[in-house]
Amino acid sequence: MSIFQHVANDMNVYEFWHKLAGMYERKNSLDKASLMRKLVTLKYSNGESIAVHNSTFMGLVNQLSSAKMSLDDELHALMLDSSLQVGK
């Protein structure tokens, strides 16, 4: 079933947005736990572009934020620092 079929009968922007959010927002705890696990285990690889690594990191942070789970500044910085530690 296409997205259009789900929202075709909506009469206003609020109904339209609310229905789309319900279809695509990550809401349950398993999704949040999965995103956190990905963020915690994210590690920079030697030779990887810092820009690519940062983009991946921020993508996960943004997905968590969309799931109504945000990191405070200190935790954000600590998680980024941890992801940049290169194993010896």
Secondary structure (H, E, C), the chain: CCHHHHHCCCCCHHHHHHHHHHHHCCCCHHHHHHHHHHHHHCCCCCCCCHHHHHHHHHHHHHHHHHCCCCCCHHHHHHHHHHHHCCCC
Give the pTM.
Answer: 0.66
Confidence at 69, pLDDT banded by 50, 70, 90: confident
The string of pLDDT tens digits covering residues 5-46 is 555 666 677 777 777 676 666 567 778 889 999 999 999 998
The string of pLDDT tens digits covering residues 52-66 is 999 999 999 998 888
Q: In 3-state terms, what secondary structure has residue 17?
A: helix
